[in-house]
Structure 1
Amino acid sequence: MSAMESVDPEPLDEVATAAYAHLFQALADPTRLTLVQHLASGEHRVRDLVEHLGLAQSTVSKHLGFLLECGLVTLRPEGRSTWYSLAEPELLRRLTAAAEGILKATGTDAVLCTHLRQPHRHRSTATGTATATATGDA
């Protein structure tokens, strides 16, 4: 085959491309990335996140909804409360490490919160103890 000849590239998978774009869109928003960092420390209720971030409840709920839609966050109802947590903390940890490597290679030495670098444990914000579950009211 000569240099002038080209091979037709494989057609792009539009569904896969859209799925990747949606995932990266979820992590591209600073507020959503901040929520992910907070959830890396364990389960939180919306009211906890509102208090920690100083954002409006509607803003936190909207962004959590987007993260839920992408499958990055799960929810666990408990009484009148709903607890949010990362769906795949280990996979997010690996993605974050890969992003840090890319940033470093391109001249930016940036590291997100240490919670994304450590093994995930559910942490009750109400009691401050490591547990598999958490309690509290809405």
Structure 2
Amino acid sequence: MTIDGEGCGAAASPSGAASELDAAVALFHSLSDGTRLAIVRRLARGEARVADLVGELGLAQSTVSAHVACLRDCNLVEGRPQGRQVFYSLTRPELMDLLASAETLLAATGNAVALCPNYGTDTVESA
């Protein structure tokens, strides 16, 4: 997949590039929620059950389950049933490469994206 464009809101070409951009948008959207990102980061350390994630993240079971389901629906997380329990893990190690690249970019920009008037941390908190 190639992501190309000029600035925010760059239009996709009318060919198959639009579907490639749609897939990239869906991927980044699936990671745009803080809870889902925390789950992905936790699963990078190894398998976990929803109960483990609830305890570690301090969130309601229903909230964690909904976010795990979203990540599973996006094929970023998979479950391994064992008896009455399900152990979740990341489906693709490349996801950690993506997150490492994001951290490198954030460090290089001095976390300037946090000041973004549309998506910055002040915008999220006041929404």
TM-score, normalising length from structure 2?
0.72
Matching residue within 34, 37, 41 for 1:33: 37
Report deviation, 1:70: 1.0
**Off by >4 Å, runs of 4+ in structure 1:** none
Give the Å deviation of 1:43.
Answer: 0.6
Cα shift at 1:106: 1.6
Q: Secondary structure at the match of 1:52?
A: helix
C-alpha RMSD over aligned residues = 1.8
Corresponding residue SS for 2:80: strand
User: Which structure 2 residues correspond to residues 11-90 of structure 1 after superposition, within 5 A?
Assistant: 11=14, 13-89=17-93
CA distance in 2, matches of 1:10, 1:31: 33
Query: Which of these two proteins has the greater Rg computed from alpha carbons?
Result: 1
Equivalent in the alignment of 1:101: 104
More relative contact order, 1 or 2 (CA 8 Å, 6+ apart): 1
> Of Structure 1 and Structure 2, which has the larger fraction of its residues in helix?
2
The share of aligned pairs that are identical, in percent, is 50
TM-score by length of 1: 0.67
Q: Where does the alignment leave 5 or more consecutive residues of structure 2 unmatched?
A: 1-11, 113-127
2:124 paired residue number: none
